[in-house]
A and B are shown apart, each in its own frame.
Chain A
Amino acid sequence: MVTAAPAKTEYEAVIGLETHVQLKTNTKIFCNCATTFGGTPNTQVCPVCMGMPGVLPVLNQKVLEYAVKAGLALNCEIAPYSKFDRKQYFYPDLPKDYQISQYDLPIAQHGWLEIELVNKETGEARRKRIGITRLHMEEDAGKLVHGGSDRLAGSTYSLVDFNRTGVPLAEIVSEPDMRSGQEAAEYAQELRRILRYLGVSDGNMQEGSLRCDVNISVRPVGQKEFGTKVEIKNMNSFNAIQRAIEYEIERQIEAIAAGERIIQETRLWEENSQRTVSMRSKEGSSDYRYFPEPDLGPIEVSPEQLAAWKAELPELPYQKRQRYESELGLSAYDARVLTDDRAMAEYFEATVAAGAPAKPAANWLMGDISAYLNSNSNVSITSLPLKPSELAELTNLIESGTISNKIAKDILPELLEKGGSPKALIEAKGLIQISDTSVIETAIAEVLAAHPKELEQYRNGKTKMLGFFVGQVMKKTGGRADPKLTNQLLAQKLNE
């Protein structure tokens, strides 16, 4: 994004994201403790994750599988030889005083993901590839509760819950390829979409299973060197990521325009005041003294294993989006909405496979069915009583003119609740559309006879009355008259 500054210098922002995602395993990365969120403090701990002397961490094979699959889905090269390292720092949430992470030989590197920004008005889609620098495996730290104050500052002591210590994480670092808050928020969403499609993370931001740190600097357009970068933390929604970046771009441009120097620092996003605040600068870069973790052997993913995992990857969101547009003729917007959630996309595909035309199927799913799911939180698309084949039947009943769109909408609530064959339902209810010309003509004759005044008005040039007559015919036939045919026949009759 290019923002105009008062001094007429144009600036651009350079943005990169560092994302930590929790991998959805039953147990921790190096021990057999549970990873469940919200357990009683310090009930999911053992000597290994607590860093007792003499214990031996062993890598969870699911963590490796999930990290490799995520790497593959992000178009990365998977390292033929990878290892773990110790990152040393002191903080009470880290019982061993070091974190087991990966330093110079991460499991995956040099990938990309594609973001798509759709202009809702024009429906036009702009695609952009964002580079992925690396993806590595590491363990999470514990959780601190500060006593005597709700913040660290002013607290007199702290309480530590180590349940989260050793929970498996993938850290995914992007290239500084993003230029706006919107691009960054879309990157984060696409990343989560991919991880959810793979089933390797639930990406729940509220529970901390997806956390984004933003690196951002601004520079005059055309300048090659990066400006001084600032790190922003503490955003707990995609919307907050976008707004934090937009705020920070403005702040940095204003500072530069005023001749100030940008300080390299970490800033926190404050949701309440909608601004970023300095969290004390960390100029003297930390000395983590990484060294190879002696307790864990290296990882060598064999070509056979890699091929097997690759074969298990599902079709990814960006691939589905492209296919829905090119093969099914959907708009970029529709494709994007349908593919946001894998279960929804699969429901849609099953409906089309059962013979439904794509666009009407998409409309039903994005409209009435989504609305129903949104207002009934106990039902999900996978548990919906109405099955894809039944939705396909419904759309075909409309296409073939057996029922009108209106009738379909009328019976939908019952179908959504109970499922079953729409055809059987309309037959049972006697709702089949009337396309018999003579039946409709009889109804028209009755309507015209019953409304001489309105007929008079119409004949005197008030042609808008056509709608009134159509409505009356519909009413008379219980909504079953074919609307198109009714219009035609009415027009004929009125203009006789």
Chain B
Amino acid sequence: MLDRDQVRKVAYLARLELTPEEEETFTTQLSNILDYFQQLSELDTSTVQPTTRAIDVSNVTRADTLQPYPNRDAILECAPDREGDFFKVPKIINPE
């Protein structure tokens, strides 16, 4: 069960501004989602090794070969604002 303070913290970490009504709604909804996943704990996993992934693939690497991306302008154009070669972002406020 998730409480409202936890919802506020998650919202803060995700830089979301929620109204009191939304906080209420998400507290219920997120709790429901967690409850749903909680069903998984019915399984007996005492003999299963912990894992971080479901697919058994390791050591996927690539050669160190240069291949510049040809369409750099398309990337710059994706941003809301630019100045010459730079992306332009609003005034940065240091997190306290």
Contact = CB atoms under 8 A, between A and B. Distances in A.
Contact of B65 (A27, A159, A298, A299): A27
Interface string B55-93: 101111111111111001001101000011111111110
Which secondary structure dominates where chain A touches chain B? loop
A82 to B, nearest CB: 9
Interface in A49-86: 50, 52, 58-64, 83
Interface in B25-65: 52-53, 55, 57-65
A32 B83 contact: no
B91 A157 contact: yes
A309 B86 CA distance: 40
A67 to B, nearest CB: 12
B13 to A, nearest CB: 6
| Residue of B69, B83, B94 ringed by the most chain A CB atoms within 10 A | B69
A42 B69 CA distance: 11
A155 B64 CA distance: 38
A26 interface: yes
B86 A145 contact: yes
A299 B59 contact: yes
Contacts of B69: 32-33, 45-47
A156 B88 CA distance: 11
A156 B91 contact: yes
B66 to A, nearest CB: 5
A43 interface: yes
A59 B85 contact: no
B68 A26 contact: no
A147 B81 CA distance: 14
B68 A159 contact: no
Contacts of A26: 64-66
Interface stretch (A289-297, A336-344, A357-365, A429-437): A289-297
A27 B89 contact: no
A162 interface: yes
A41 B85 CA distance: 6
A144 B87 CA distance: 10
A92 B72 CA distance: 19
A1 B85 CA distance: 49
Given A27-B65, A47-B75, A298 B86 contact: no
Contact of A40 (B57, B65, B78, B85): B85
A225 interface: no
Given A33-B69, A58-B62, A157-B88, A297 B13 contact: no
B58 A298 contact: yes
A315 B82 CA distance: 49
Contacts of A157: 88-91
A141 B64 CA distance: 20
A45 B75 contact: yes
Contacts of A34: 66, 68
A299 B75 CA distance: 31
A32 B67 contact: yes
Contacts of B88: 147, 157-160
A270 B55 CA distance: 50
A90 to B, nearest CB: 6
A61 B61 CA distance: 5
A162 B75 CA distance: 11
A297 B59 contact: yes
Contact of B72 (A42, A59, A156, A297): A42
A396 interface: no
B72 A45 contact: yes
Interface in A222-251: none
B61 A59 contact: yes
A27 B72 contact: no
A246 B64 CA distance: 42
B8 to A, nearest CB: 13
Contacts of B72: 42-43, 45
A88 B26 CA distance: 22
Nearest to B54: A294
B96 interface: yes
A300 interface: yes
Contact of B87 (A160, A287, A289): A160
A155 B66 contact: no
| Residue of B52, B53, B95 ringed by the most chain A CB atoms within 10 A | B52
B65 A280 contact: no
B86 A32 contact: no
A289 to B, nearest CB: 7
A161 interface: yes
B92 A158 contact: yes
B86 A161 contact: yes
Contacts of A3: none
A27 B66 CA distance: 6
Given A32-B66, A43-B85, A45-B72, A158 B91 contact: yes
Interface of A: 25-27, 32-34, 40-47, 50, 52, 58-64, 83, 88, 90-92, 144-147, 152, 155-162, 280, 287, 289, 292, 294, 296-300
Given A43-B72, A61-B61, 15 more contacts: A26-B66, A60-B62, A83-B52, A155-B91, A157-B88, A158-B91, A160-B88, A160-B89, A161-B85, A289-B13, A297-B59, A298-B53, A299-B58, A299-B59, A300-B59
11 contacts: A26-B64, A27-B66, A47-B69, A47-B75, A50-B75, A61-B63, A147-B88, A160-B88, A160-B89, A287-B13, A298-B58
Interface of B: 13, 15, 52-53, 55, 57-69, 72, 75-76, 78, 83-92, 94-96
